[in-house]
């Protein structure tokens, strides 16, 4: 990168490049041109200046060096110089690499790439491999917002197919690119021509995928079955057939195909991932997901990245997201937030709500008067078991933290990391390593002194729609951070286990849920901890169920969902959890605010 201000416009970078050229300083001229290419990859003036640098240097490619940490602008500049030097295949290789690095930039939208005569100068096998390289580098399918920068490659594919109309590999690779760019009909046409030109396993797979994208499921399955007949040992195709069948409700057939694949190779990653996903889809038993997480941990060198575990956990309580809290005091909070001008309001509670809920309401709506009619037994202000680390003290029905506020560094760290959703529990654990260097006092302080939400899109949604969800996010991630505290200590005698247990058995609160989730997460990532954690979860849920027979327990449904996410939980506790979920009218099941909030969050977390 040039040393100049990276915020300079492309025009300013080009002006500096021309000054450097005039002074004979070719390296600095090249640096400025490369930066301008990143900012405006199709601007004619950029390419004119690049041509001047090439002419002045005699076409010296080393002005745009490749290396382990090559600048993408230098890679693209070198690609254009290679094409100008009569080596377009090498240039296309570099453009494809740049697209894989930054698919949102129009690196290939230049005349030499889209010229109809270019494919005549390329070996069709090489063109096919370049298209396949592109397909491997971009999402399948490519999101609409990212398709336009890839249109030049589709034009290249059209031109190549016109020049080489019977080349099976080129037709298949072109079909794969067209399919990713939403051109399903074109993808079917090209793939079918490729199979007619030369039947092959790969050609039938491309055709099957094209049919599937076009909504022609029966034809897709027929093509994929032909692929299996041509190569019975390619177990990835078995998994593709199973996935296609499952997507159309034919789960038994799908599992039959997966079982056939596993009979050939019980460790084949695509088949294992698909098998666990489909079995969870069939019976909803999280044991399949835990087994899948174990397999992924024990086989880090799988053939490619899989999304089955994340797909199964998405939007499920505690497996993929924190559950929003409910209750009358939060209903009052949401009503108050919905009133223009924040009019003063009052609410009378039949029973005391969790201290985190009461504190969240007091902070969000200072003018809201809250009166608690009674404090039912068992007294929710008392910890469920004796603790050496109380987080709250009460004056009547008003709770106050017993711990000092966390450091500014801890508050900023949690702002950057906390969010209401995660791919799956092991991924949440891995992300929380960013809190590993925080002191224990800071992690505990965050639980009762949550900082304000960040000034991001997520923070604005949470602050405006439901501040309680941001507080729960902070508490979840602070407890996950506790899992990374003194990890050199053996689990059974560790500080992290002891602290989390005290939080689990402390005053009935949102923190109870979050600490229990941290323990459940520990069980997901450490099989040796599973018997211990399953025992804790069973005890805590049984205690909550017993209390719920005497009075309302606001967190009992959430604890039940946590139990269902716990590895190796005993069947009796699992049945109890299901009964609690079925038998409790949960405020979170109501339409309205949460439906709107979920839509906001879905938009924020939608992946490309």
Name the residue among 81, 158, 144 with its Cα closest to residue 112.
Answer: 81
Q: Which of 402, 426, 456 is the last residue of a domain?
A: 402
* Residues contacting residue 262 through CB under 8 Å, at least 6 positions apart: 268, 271, 272, 275
CA distance 137 to 130: 11
Kindly indicate the confidence band of residue 7, based on its pLDDT and cuts at 50, 70 and 90.
Answer: low
Averaged pLDDT for residues 27-43: 95
Kindly indicate the confidence band of residue 365, based on its pLDDT and cuts at 50, 70 and 90.
Answer: confident
145-175 pLDDT, tens digit per residue, is: 999 999 999 999 999 999 999 999 999 999 9
Q: Are residues 456 and 360 in the same domain?
A: no
Q: How far apart are the first and last CA of the chain?
A: 28
Q: Are residues 377 and 392 in the same domain?
A: yes
Q: Are residues 459 and 579 in the same domain?
A: yes
Do 97 and 134 meet the contact criterion of CB atoms below 8 Å apart?
Answer: no
State which residues form the domain around 542: 408-589
Name the residue among 206, 191, 189, 281 with its Cα closest to residue 243.
Answer: 281
Token pair belonging to 535? 């025992």
Instruction: Identify the sign of the CA torsion 172, 176, 181, 186.
Output: positive
Q: Are residues 442 and 471 in the same domain?
A: yes
In what helix (H) or strand (E) does residue 111 lie, and over which residues does it extend? helix 111-114
Asked whether residue 501 is assigned to any structural domain, the reply reads yes
Token pair belonging to 582? 């079925």
**What per-residue confidence (pLDDT) applies to 594?**
38
289-338 pLDDT, tens digit per residue, is: 999 999 999 998 776 778 999 999 999 999 999 998 988 888 888 777 77
Q: Are residues 476 and 561 in the same domain?
A: yes
Whole-structure pTM value: 0.82
CA distances for 507 relative to 325, 468, 513, 521, angstroms: 16, 18, 11, 21
Q: Are residues 347 and 468 in the same domain?
A: no
Q: Are residues 508 and 416 in the same domain?
A: yes
581-590 pLDDT, tens digit per residue, is: 998 534 333 3
179-222 pLDDT, tens digit per residue, is: 999 999 999 999 999 999 999 999 999 999 999 999 999 999 99
Looking at the DSSP bridge assignments, the partners of residue 345 are 368
**What per-residue confidence (pLDDT) applies to 224?**
97
Above 70 in pLDDT, residue 597?
Answer: no
Q: Which of 373, 402, 431 is the last residue of a domain?
A: 402
Asked whether residue 579 is assigned to any structural domain, the reply reads yes
Q: How many domains does the chain have?
A: 2
Asked whether residue 544 is assigned to any structural domain, the reply reads yes
CA–CA–CA angle 213, 219, 220 (5° rounding): 45
Kindly report whether the peptide bond that precedes residue 7 is cis, defined as omega within 30 degrees of 0. Answer: no
Q: Which of 402, 424, 445 is the last residue of a domain?
A: 402
Do 391 and 403 meet the contact criterion of CB atoms below 8 Å apart?
Answer: yes
Name the residue among 541, 574, 546 with its Cα closest to residue 559.
Answer: 541
The CA radius of gyration of the chain, in Å to the nearest whole number, is 30
CA distance 38 to 543: 60
**Concatenated DSSP letters of 182-212:** T-HHHHHHHHHHHHHHS--HHHHHHHHHHHH
**What per-residue confidence (pLDDT) applies to 337?**
74
Asked whether residue 564 is assigned to any structural domain, the reply reads yes
Q: Are residues 382 and 468 in the same domain?
A: no
Which is more confident, 465 or 278?
278
């Amino acid at each position: 990168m040039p040393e100049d201000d990276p915020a300079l416009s492309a025009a300013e970078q080009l002006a500096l490049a021309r000054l450097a050229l005039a002074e004979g300083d070719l390296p600095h001229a090249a640096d400025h041109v490369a930066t301008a290419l990143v900012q405006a990859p199709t601007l004619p003036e950029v390419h004119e200046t690049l041509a001047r640098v090439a002419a002045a240097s005699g076409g010296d490619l080393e002005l745009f060096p490749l290396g382990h940490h090559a600048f993408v602008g230098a890679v693209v500049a070198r690609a254009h110089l290679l094409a100008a030097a009569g080596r377009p295949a090498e240039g296309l290789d570099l453009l494809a690499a740049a697209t894989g690095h930054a698919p949102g930039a129009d690196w290939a939208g230049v005349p030499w790439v889209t010229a109809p005569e270019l494919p005549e100068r390329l070996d069709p096998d090489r063109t096919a491999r370049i298209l396949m390289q592109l397909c491997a580098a971009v999402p399948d399918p490519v999101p609409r917002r990212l398709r336009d920068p890839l249109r030049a490659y589709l034009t290249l594919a059209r031109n190549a197919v016109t020049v080489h109309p019977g080349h099976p590999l080129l037709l298949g690779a072109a079909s794969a690119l067209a399919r990713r760019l939403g051109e399903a009909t074109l993808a079917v046409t090209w793939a079918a021509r490729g199979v007619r030109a030369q039947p092959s396993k790969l050609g039938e797979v491309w055709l099957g995928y094209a049919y599937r994208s076009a909504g022609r499921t029966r034809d897709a399955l027929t093509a994929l079955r032909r692929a299996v007949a041509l190569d019975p040992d390619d177990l990835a195709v078995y998994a593709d057939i199973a996935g296609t069948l499952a997507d159309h409700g034919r789960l038994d057939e799908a599992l039959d195909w997966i079982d056939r694949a596993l009979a050939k190779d019980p460790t084949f990653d695509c088949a294992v991932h698909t098998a666990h996903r489909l079995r969870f889809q069939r019976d909803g038993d999280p044991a399949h997901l835990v087994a899948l997480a174990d397999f992924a941990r024990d086989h880090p060198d799988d053939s490619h990245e899989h999304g089955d575990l994340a797909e199964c956990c998405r939007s499920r309580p505690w497996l993929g997201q924190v559950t929003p809290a409910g209750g009358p005091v939060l209903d009052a909070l949401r009503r108050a937030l919905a009133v223009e001008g924040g009019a003063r309001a009052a609410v009378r509670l039949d029973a005391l709500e969790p201290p985190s809920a009461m504190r969240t309401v007091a902070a969000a709506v200072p003018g809201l008067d809250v009166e608690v009619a009674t404090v039912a037994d068992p007294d929710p202000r008392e910890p469920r078991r004796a603790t050496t680390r109380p987080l709250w003290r009460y004056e009547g029905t008003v709770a106050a933290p017993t711990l000092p506020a966390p450091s500014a560094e801890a508050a900023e760290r949690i702002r950057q990391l906390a969010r209401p959703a995660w791919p799956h529990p092991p991924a949440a654990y891995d992300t929380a390593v960013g809190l590993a260097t925080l002191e224990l006092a800071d992690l505990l302080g965050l639980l009762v002194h949550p900082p304000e939400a960040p000034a991001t899109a997520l923070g604005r949604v949470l602050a405006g729609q439901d501040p309680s969800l941001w507080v729960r996010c902070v508490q979840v991630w602070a407890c996950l951070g506790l899992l990374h505290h003194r990890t050199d200590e053996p689990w059974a005698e560790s500080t992290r286990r002891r602290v989390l247990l005290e939080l689990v058995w402390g005053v009935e609160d949102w923190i109870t849920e979050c600490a229990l989730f941290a323990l459940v997460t520990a069980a997901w990532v450490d099989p040796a901890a599973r018997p211990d954690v399953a025992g804790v979860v069973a005890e805590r849920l049984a205690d909550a169920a017993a209390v719920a027979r005497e009075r309302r327990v606001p967190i009992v449904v959430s604890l039940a969902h946590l139990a269902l996410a716990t590895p190796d939980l005993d069947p009796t506790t699992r049945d109890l959890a299901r009964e609690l979920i079925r038998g409790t009218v949960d405020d979170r099941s109501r339409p309205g605010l949460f439906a709107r909030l979920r839509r906001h969050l879905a938009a924020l977390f939608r992946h490309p």
